[in-house]
Structure 1
């Protein structure tokens, strides 16, 4: 008797473009600048991306352009959590705060934000988008990322 095995990855299709952004802006300020320069209407979602097993959450902005069948997402790649650190030095215990940094996509730790463009009919010109992003003075750099080369691409399914 033949054994048939189905993998979940067989059904997931990489029909999105991913752009990495390096900048020191707050998420709401970057969303505002993207809305102005790219003609978007990004709005913050009511719930952040929460990963309970990592105890981290990431802000996410979304705009669904129904006329062009495109969904735009701006998601933070960095989550900073302040936690208590208990350690003892000799006879006395000291309580200090430690800031732990988590990344949504650990392969790209230096990236501050990702733009995920899910387009069904593949009509988005990513070179034009990158050119417009380079014209925003507050953005240090931006570049395309191949989603198939990311090991933790499951974190980008939202």
Structure 2
């Protein structure tokens, strides 16, 4: 009996997407509205947020599936702030509990980035530059730039499905 050996390429491991980092002080819904307006897309809030660390940390996510071009657009927050109460021993009548705010990041290597726009398709350089120029034309956005996804250490956090 003959033995058949299948060798799979590494092409299946690498998912092709474009990642754009966005710096701004807008709320997520406002940024989604402005991106929809300037890029001609229709981002909508998903019914559930991205949950990590046993639902202790969650990030808001907006997405849109372009069925004509077979492209999925996702806008995800990079920052999650959680408040916890510090347990203290009460020694007097006027002691109060302290609130501690902890900040978590979806991609810790980009702590200054507020949002990421992930486009599940590889665009040509000119198309990517066109998208970046449209994003930068929004006055409320401080800056935006492309991120090389092959250099990311925590790229597993960008798997939304």
Smaller-chain TM-score bracket: 0.7 to 0.9
Q: How many residues align?
A: 148
In the alignment, which residue of structure 2 is the partner of 1:109? 111
Instruction: Select between 50-59 and 34-43 the one with higher mean Cα deviation.
Output: 50-59
Once the two structures are superposed, residues 97-128 of structure 1 have per-residue CA deviations (whole angstroms, 9 ceiling, x without a partner) of 11110000000000000000002x74581111
The structure having more radius of gyration, on CA atoms, is: 2
Question: How far apart in 2 are the matches of 1:100 and 1:69?
Answer: 38
Question: How far apart in 1 are the matches of 2:53 and 2:101?
Answer: 18
Once the two structures are superposed, residues 50-76 of structure 1 have per-residue CA deviations (whole angstroms, 9 ceiling, x without a partner) of 003472000000000010111000000
CA RMSD of aligned residues (A): 2.0
Q: Is the 8 A contact 1:88 1:94 kept in 2?
A: no
Query: Gaps (5+ residues) in structure 2?
Result: 1-9
Question: How far apart in 1 are the matches of 2:13 and 2:61?
Answer: 21
In the alignment, which residue of structure 2 is the partner of 1:99? 101
Superposed counterparts of 1:60-99, under 5 Å: 60-88=61-89, 91-92=91-92, 94-99=96-101
- Which has the larger share of strand? 1
SS in 2 for 1:81: strand
Query: Gaps (5+ residues) in structure 1?
Result: 1-8
TM-score (norm 1): 0.86
